[in-house]
Each structure stands twice: as C-alpha cells, then as structure tokens.
Chains A and B, each alone.
Chain A
C-alpha cells in the first residue's frame, strides 16, 4: 500500500518534471511539424536528401542566431541589433577585403573583433544606464544599419559589394565559414549510386548534395557549446541567476554585470558567424542583409520555451524552435502554399508559445 503511494508520487514527480521541461513545447512542435509535412509533402521531394538539405540549411541559419539570443534572454536581456549586426559585419568583411585589399582572414577576424566590441558596448551601456536592453539595442538596430549603408555607399557607391569569392579563393579562414565537409563521403556515396548525381550541365556526374555545409557544422557546434555552458558549468549557473533575479545574484557574489556583457558579446559573435557564412557563400555582402533576424531569433527562443523575463529556458529548445521555423518556411514552399501565410502561422505560434510559457512559469514559481 505505502509502496503504491510512493510509486504513484514518484510517477507524478516524473510527470511534473517532464511537464516542466522548458523545451517540451518545442519537442512536441517539431514532431507535429514533421508529421504534418511528412503526410502532406512526402511526394514533393521535401524529405529527399536534396530537399532535406534545403530546409536543413535554412534551419541552421535560424539556429546560429537563436543560440546567441537564447543565452542572452536567459541572462535577462534582449538584443534587437542582431539583424543590423549581420548586415554590418558582412559589409565590414566585403569592404576591407574587396575594396581595401586586406587578406580575407584578416577581414573576417576584424569583423568579429568589431562586432564583439560593439556587443560589449551595448551590454556596457545597458548595465551602466540601467535602461532596458530592449531600448539600448533598438538604438543600435538603427545606428548599425545606418552605418552599414553609409560605409557601403561611401566606399563603393553601391549597397551590394561583390567579388568576395575571387579574393577568398586561397584564403585559409574562409572555408571554415563557407566550405563543406565530408565531400569525399558524399562523392563516394554518389559513386555507389546511393546519392543522385546531376545528369547534365557543368556539374554532371557530381552528387546533388556534395557535402555538409559549414553553416550546419557551426549551428551544431554552437548548440553543443551553449547547451554545455548553460547546463554543465558554473558560468551557466550564473547565466540563470543573472536573469532569474539579478539583485539576489549580486548579493551572493555573482558577477552579474560581467555575465550579461559577455552574453551580449556572444550574441554579436553568433550574428557575425551568420554574416560571414553568408558573405563567403554568396561571394557578396549586402547592406540590407539580416533585416528582421533579431525577431526571428527571439521567436525561435520563445517557441523553445524560454521566458521573456529571463532566468529560464533551454538551448535545445531554442534550436528546435529554429528548426520549426526553417521546416515550416521551406515546407510551405514545397507544398506550394502562398508564402505570406508563413508569417500568419508564425504570429499564431508565437502567441501560443508565450501563453504556454507563462502558464509553465506559474507552475514552477507557485505564483497564482
């Protein structure tokens, strides 16, 4: 009898634990999204290797910026300048390498250094003025976008700067962002007839998917790094604490300001990874790149179960949120639905996620 009660209560505890996982909603969401498109779009080639690569790459792009936004949101802050930072970092790379003739590796490293310094500045202003980061980073959304267009115009009289592919030809750093790995494996698989090959054109005989793009590798790497940092290290504990209750964390001796500023720097790092992979892939930088990306990152994070108020969330959840984003956006294209409906879907999903998260928060904190 008492054993029964014990089992029952431990069962309930487990159930509760599962229910309170921050990423539960995103896990269920991913399953539903895949189930839906598998039923509807099976015959469209969406789940062929080539099709999967398509939504896989789009998802990876969302993941890269969502991971940064996720840690920052858990630390209790927002960065609305992510999209502008993407445009800015891209133009910095293109101007320094193509126009000024710097080696591409130096351009890339400079872009990272400048972006991360600006990230630190946004963090520093937020901390020292005590203003909401929402407002401070909104200011930088405009400042950076304006500077990006200004720099592009005065140096080339254009807002799109091409020619990066040519200067990046023999660079050692560029392939880390724009290359592919496992190309040998894919070539071999194609020779074995396990991957389709192009039948005509200049690429005839080559596999339709020639390797895993570095963008996917970055996405995966950032997920592993951020998840590990957040859940397994003492610094991760400080991230939760800084967002959960900054005052209480300060009282106990957590360097809250340093944690928050570092998270702004990390967000800028992620935005620059995104920018660099795009510049190397397209061979050009455009001053209007990255528009609205900050919101897409935040939406992925919220779908992933993080609380807008900070202190709670999951990197895995944010990544799954980004996958939902990517799969639905590309899936609608595969099934030929008007792509404007994607935004309707997104708005509804965001609303549902926030309502669910607020409810979960009440369950955890015991608030009525």
Chain B
C-alpha cells in the first residue's frame, strides 16, 4: 500500500456487435512506471488503448483515476485527465513545421492591437529548448516535420504530450516501423519521460523492445489478460511464449 495506482482498469469488456474484442482485461498503472502491453495482432491491444484514450467506451468494466471512478467519453476528456496518446502514424502533420505541429491546438497567442496573433517568437524559443532537452538538434523551428526521421518524429510527439502535462502517456507501437538506431533513441526518450514521473503505457509486439524499457509486462491474447509480470520475473523466452499463445516459435516453424 505504498501508493495507490495512478490509473486502474478493471474487468474491461468491449463488444462490437457479435464480436467480443475484450473479455475482461484488468491492469493498473503507476506513476513513473513503464507498463508494456504485449500481444499479437488481434489480441485486443488497440481496442484497449482506444478505451483508455476515450475513442471507445467499454461495454462493461470500471476505470479509476487516482482511486476515483470516472468515465471517459471522448478523447478530449482523456486529455483533460492527463491521458495522452501518441499514435504510430497519426501523431504529426508532415507538411507543417515542427513549431506549428508542436503547438497545434494549443497555440501561444499575443494581442497586437485588436487582433490576436500566434506568438511565433515565444513558440519557437520554447520549442528549441524542449527539443534540446530531449536530444533533437533542429536546424530551425520552421523546418517541416517531414524532414525529420521516423524516430525523431516519435520523439517530438512524445515531447509534445509530456510538455502539455500528460501524466499517462500511451505509445502505440512507437518502434515498430523504425530501424535499430532510431528505436534506441525512442527507447531513451521513454526512459527520460518515465524519470519525470510520467506513467508510460508502451504497446508493442516486439518483446526485446519491451524488455529494454519495461517495468511491468501485461500480455493480452484474444481479448483476455494472460497475466502481469514485473521486470526480472520473466524473460524473453517466456514472454515470447505467452504472446504466441503457448506455442513455441520453434514449434510453429515445424
């Protein structure tokens, strides 16, 4: 009972018509912890994070934040309680500048006479220092997001979510489309964010990426939780085994 979990999801069910996507999933998420949600394609990972981020509402089940039961009816409400989601490919707009992207929807403004303008000077200088902190060297704040690498884009998206006060950061397959070097950069970013006390929910089907940063591992399979393990209690082989539905990969090859 050292500290109550930041967010708890209990016995979450979700059905789409006749299809039961989730059949009773429970996890609890603590501040400063990286909780990895593992599972094969179709295991229910994305439905589950969409419930966390307010895109879907559960058919049954409870969601607690700081011990209080709440409902999350839309993405806006999720953001209001500090839940931010960085989607794999929907995070940023490639044609727009890094600065315009970073501040999108929360632009800093200033009054000039009767009109309200974007305060580009302030936006740019805060952006540059935030990017510096998280280890991205920008040529200038007006360069387009499209000129950044995939890993850098993920990092910018994460930095943005944390800057705007995310307490629970959901990362949807942030490394699945990246090379080795870029993956290690994103994993470093996750570590930095966690050190700030942010709870990270890391969705992946890559066990080695998860093991590199995870504190806890929950494996989903066919809409159910197969269990949660702490780092050190479980190894690569066992996780891989759980994810593949109790069949050894070597067995599958036969």
A364 interface neighbour in B100, B105, B144, Cβ under 8 Å: B144
A234 interface neighbour in B93, B96, B118, Cβ under 8 Å: B118
A216-237 interface (Cβ within 8 A of B): 232-234, 236-237
Q: Is A311 an interface residue (CB 8 A)?
A: yes
> Which of B57-65, B84-92, B178-186, B204-212 lies at the interface with chain A?
B84-92
B117 interface neighbour in A20, A233, A367, Cβ under 8 Å: A233
B96 interface neighbour in A20, A311, A361, A367, Cβ under 8 Å: A311
Known: A364-B144, A364-B147, A365-B146. A232 touches B96 (CB 8 A): no
Contact, CB under 8 Å: A252 / B95 = no
CB of A259, distance to nearest CB on chain B (Å)? 12
Contact, CB under 8 Å: A311 / B93 = yes
A245 interface neighbour in B75, B85, B90, B140, Cβ under 8 Å: B90
How many residue pairs, one in A and one in B, have C-beta atoms under 8 Å apart?
Answer: 79
User: Which of A232, A236, A237, A240 has its CB near the most chain B CB atoms (within 10 A)?
Assistant: A237
Q: Is A112 an interface residue (CB 8 A)?
A: no
Digitize A247-271: 1 where CB-to-B-CB distance is under 8 Å, 0 elsewhere.
1110111100000000000000000
Task: Give the size of the chain A interface in residues (CB under 8 angstroms).
Answer: 28
A290-323 interface (Cβ within 8 A of B): 307, 311-312
B107 interface neighbour in A234, A244, A251, Cβ under 8 Å: A234
CB of B99, distance to nearest CB on chain A (Å)? 10
Contact, CB under 8 Å: A233 / B104 = no
Q: Is B52 an interface residue (CB 8 A)?
A: no
Residues of B within 8 A of A13 (CB): 139-140
CB of B124, distance to nearest CB on chain A (Å)? 13
Q: Is A336 an interface residue (CB 8 A)?
A: no
Known: A237-B100, A237-B103, A241-B104. A248 touches B146 (CB 8 A): no
Residues of A within 8 A of B90 (CB): 245, 247-248, 251
Bound complex: CA of A139 vs CA of B197, how far in Å?
Answer: 55
CB of A92, distance to nearest CB on chain B (Å)? 32
Residues of A within 8 A of B147 (CB): 364, 366
Q: Is B76 an interface residue (CB 8 A)?
A: yes
Bound complex: CA of A247 vs CA of B88, how far in Å?
Answer: 13
Residues of B within 8 A of A307 (CB): 95
CB of B51, distance to nearest CB on chain A (Å)? 16
A329-368 interface (Cβ within 8 A of B): 361, 364-367
Contact, CB under 8 Å: B79 / A253 = yes
B101-145 interface (Cβ within 8 A of A): 103-107, 109, 115-118, 139-140, 142, 144
Q: Name the residue on A nearest B93 (C-beta).
A: A244
CB of A227, distance to nearest CB on chain B (Å)? 13
Task: Give the size of the chain B interface in residues (CB under 8 angstroms).
Answer: 29
Bound complex: CA of A366 vs CA of B143, how far in Å?
Answer: 12
Bound complex: CA of A249 vs CA of B91, how far in Å?
Answer: 9
Residues of B within 8 A of A249 (CB): 93, 104-105
Residues of A within 8 A of B76 (CB): 253
A232 interface neighbour in B75, B93, B95, B118, Cβ under 8 Å: B118
Q: Is B94 an interface residue (CB 8 A)?
A: yes
Contact, CB under 8 Å: A233 / B116 = yes
Residues of A within 8 A of B140 (CB): 13
Bound complex: CA of A20 vs CA of B97, how far in Å?
Answer: 12
Q: Name the residue on A nearest B53 (C-beta).
A: A251
Contact, CB under 8 Å: B94 / A365 = yes
Contact, CB under 8 Å: A244 / B95 = yes
Q: Name the residue on B nearest A362 (C-beta).
A: B146
Contact, CB under 8 Å: A240 / B100 = yes
Residues of A within 8 A of B109 (CB): 234
Residues of A within 8 A of B118 (CB): 232-234, 236-237
Bound complex: CA of A139 vs CA of B226, how far in Å?
Answer: 54
Residues of A within 8 A of B105 (CB): 238, 241, 249, 252-254
CB of A250, distance to nearest CB on chain B (Å)? 8
Known: A252-B104, A253-B105. A366 touches B92 (CB 8 A): no
Bound complex: CA of A136 vs CA of B140, how far in Å?
Answer: 40
Q: Name the residue on B nearest A247 (C-beta).
A: B90
CB of A314, distance to nearest CB on chain B (Å)? 12
Residues of A within 8 A of B100 (CB): 237, 240-241
Contact, CB under 8 Å: A365 / B95 = yes
Residues of B within 8 A of A364 (CB): 94-95, 144, 146-147
Q: Name the residue on B nearest A12 (C-beta).
A: B139
- The 17 sampled A-B contact pairs (Cβ below 8 Å) are A233-B117, A237-B96, A237-B100, A237-B118, A241-B96, A241-B105, A244-B96, A245-B90, A247-B90, A248-B92, A249-B93, A249-B104, A251-B87, A311-B95, A311-B96, A365-B94, A365-B146
9 new A-B contacts at CB < 8 Å, known A237-B104, A244-B95, A364-B146 = A233-B116, A233-B118, A245-B90, A248-B92, A248-B93, A253-B75, A254-B104, A365-B94, A366-B147
What 6 pairs between A and B have smallest CB-CB spacing? A365-B146, A234-B107, A244-B93, A253-B105, A252-B105, A311-B95
